Amino acid sequence: MKNRCLFILLCILPMLCGCNESDDVVRIFTGKTWKLTDVLDGGTYPIIGNSYDASSNPGYWSSNEAKEASIKLLEAENNFTITFTGVLTNKTISGGISGRAASTSFTGSWSADAESNYFTAKPSSTSDNDALGRAFLNGLNNATSYKGDENNLYIYFKEGQRTRCLLFHVQE
């Protein structure tokens, strides 16, 4: 009896101690619509959330008026959104995307690796009438990695020599 209890305890121990270092990519990406809330320069400095400054202009807008026009489009309910569908194979999920920039709807494909946080997306459209819309599509097209959880998603991308980040929250 004593050996049996010891055996059961030894069998349960690995389940209690085991840890999973990979993300639950299905819960992070699928089953919701993500809404863009900001673009971060260098991954930390908010571009949309800060006032327009021509000296630190990231190249999206030619004036404060152009930036304000983009922000109005961003505030519209179905603009700057993306929805992911996908199938998990081992630690990689891949599937379809659909969404809308400012004036352009798109579909496409995507994939993410739960262990390395590698991310790639290929939207069907790369152009939009709005500067922020073009930046949004460019960010998806040049995506390199992601971080996130069920409520926040960060998609990192290269823009020239700069690393930027599309910051998303779940659309309510």
- pTM across the whole model: 0.83
CA distances from 75 to 9, 47, 171 (A): 55, 15, 11
Q: Average per-residue pLDDT in the chain?
A: 85
**Higher model confidence: residue 79 or residue 66?**
79
Phi, psi of 104 (to 5 degrees): -125, 130
When pLDDT is averaged across residues 1-12 and rounded to a whole number, the result is 45
Give the pLDDT band of residue 9 (cuts 50, 70, 90). very low
By the 8 A CB rule, do 110 and 121 touch? Answer: yes
Q: Most confidently modeled of 46-50, 142-146, 159-163?
A: 142-146
Say what the alpha-carbon torsion angle 56, 61, 62, 63 is, to the nearest 10 degrees. Answer: -80
Residue 67 has pLDDT above 60, yes or no: yes
Q: pLDDT over 90 for what percent of the chain?
A: 66
Residue 32 has pLDDT above 90, yes or no: yes
pLDDT the model gives residue 10: 40
Residue 52 has pLDDT above 80, yes or no: no
Q: For 110-155, what is each residue's pLDDT tens digit?
A: 999 999 999 999 999 889 999 999 999 999 999 999 999 999 999 9
In angstroms, rounded to a whole number, what is the distance separating the alpha carbons of residues 38 and 40?
6
pLDDT the model gives residue 56: 58
Tokens of 96: 């379809």
When pLDDT is averaged across residues 148-165 and rounded to a whole number, the result is 93
Give the pLDDT band of residue 79 (cuts 50, 70, 90). very high
Residue 18 has pLDDT above 90, yes or no: no
* Class of the domain covering 21-171: mainly beta
